[in-house]
Amino acid sequence: MDVPPALGWVSGFEPWEITREHFPCKVGGMPAWLSLNLPSQTEFLCNECGNVLTFCLQLYAPDDRYDHAFHRSLYFFICQPCGNNFAIIRNQLPRDNQFFGYNPLEFGVTLDSTKEIRGCCADCGLPCHSTQSNKSLGKVADNISRESTLIDSLPNGTSLHKRCEIARTHKTLKTTFPEYVINITTLDEVKDDYSHEHQLYQKYLSINGQDIPVSTNKIAESPESDICFTQPTSENNIRSVSSVFVEKNVEMEDYEETYDAIEEQKYNMFGNDTSYDRFCQITGHQDVIYYERHGNPLWVSNRNRKLGDEIMDWEPPKCSHCGGNRSFEFQILPQLLYYLDNERVDFSSIAVYTCANSCAIDGYVREFVRPEYEPQVKLNGAWKGIC
């Protein structure tokens, strides 16, 4: 299977595009399940706090080497209360299966979707039936009874997780993330002319009254953007940059260009960090996914504060189902944080490793995620985090 590296970026969508019969790649909303033989709700609880996970995104990634993986989807989940605990599951189906027709539907055509998927929460779309006792769940058992209790009081017989009932009542919790489709495009060549980027950086320096020479470090372009930089990842970042505009009487339409220049200044602080250099050369500010089956992640930095080692010198654990090797498949980029619009969630990037052979499975199985957290830079002789 020869799959070239690709980038995924988000956009709006037509309603039919996110239906399960069209095998979407998407962010937020409810999962578009492949097989309807779903695991119990206990498979969707945070290993640390016991709260119900929140669906974040899914990718449709068939493996044409095997008939049993003709349809293949990966589902990624986040624990909102923790903000830094994640899970990934894989599901596969052959072309001839009980859930979908042998031939694909035409664009715009949908099937009858009026029936609720049995056993799923009406608000978040995750399973809300349990086949496992609390005693077998160890330290999360106490929280399960408090946070994951089901409310079976809806007129159509569907259920709600406790947190979803609270969200309906108080409007203070989000049961789903904002919804977008993920568009996949193969990776284009990085451009060699960076004069426009240097001009923007000079503009930023003049706005702030600084006399700093423009760096000759390269900054890259992606197919959908003028400059390769990340979106702000929190409201505080947006406010801090916006305050510069007010003080210097800069029009808000210049926000993105000026923010990009600030990101270049951060780049200079990383020194000779080859990972950060490569990351900026390849990704754009709108890109949320980097996909390269059996390839390597685009680590944001050579150094990683939370793991405390050189993050590249590492091998993923064996497949929990077949015992075979796992390999890198895709990476969730920090730009996604902007679109999730959730201050609790935090990461620099998340690398996803899956069974290299897409081993045959009957239902949904866990794969492995490796988060990369805030990188470090050396300031005045000491390593410090960069926000």
Judge whether residue 121 has pLDDT over 70. yes
Reported as type and span, the H/E element at residue 160 is strand 160-161
Judge whether residue 140 has pLDDT over 60. no
Q: CA–CA separation, 320 vs 232, rounded Å?
A: 36
Please report which residue ranges of the chain form alpha helices under DSSP H: 141-147, 162-170, 195-207, 235-247, 255-269, 274-282, 336-340
Report CA 319 to chain centroid distance, whole Å.
Answer: 21
**The dihedral sign for the CA sequence 337, 338, 340, 344:** positive
- Exposure on the CB side of residue 216, measured as CA atoms within 13 A: 0
The pLDDT of residue 80 = 92
Locate 212 and state its tokens: 């700093």
- Please tell me the least confidently modeled range out of 30-34, 71-75, 375-379, 382-386: 382-386
The pLDDT of residue 170 = 79
Write out pLDDT tens, residues 231-242. Answer: 333 344 333 433
218 pLDDT band (50/70/90 cuts)?
very low
**Which of the listed ranges 88-97, 142-151, 378-387 does the model predict with the highest average pLDDT?**
88-97
265 pLDDT band (50/70/90 cuts)?
low
Locate 253 and state its tokens: 């339409």
Write out pLDDT tens, residues 311-329. Answer: 556 789 999 999 999 999 9
**Site of tokens 């923790």:** 82
Judge whether residue 12 has pLDDT over 70. yes
Interacting residues of 345 by C-beta distance below 8 A, sequence separation 6+: 78, 80, 83, 84, 337
246 pLDDT band (50/70/90 cuts)?
very low
Helix, strand, coil percent values for the chain (each to nearest 5): 25, 20, 55
Supply the DSSP string of 277-306, one letter for each residue. HHHHHH--TTEEEEE-TTS----S-S--TT
β-strand partners of 182: 10
The pLDDT of residue 254 = 60
What mean pLDDT is reported for the chain?
A: 76
Residues 127-138 have a mean pLDDT of 52
Residues 185-201 have a mean pLDDT of 61
Q: How much is the pTM? A: 0.73
**Site of tokens 């995104």:** 57
The pLDDT of residue 284 = 86
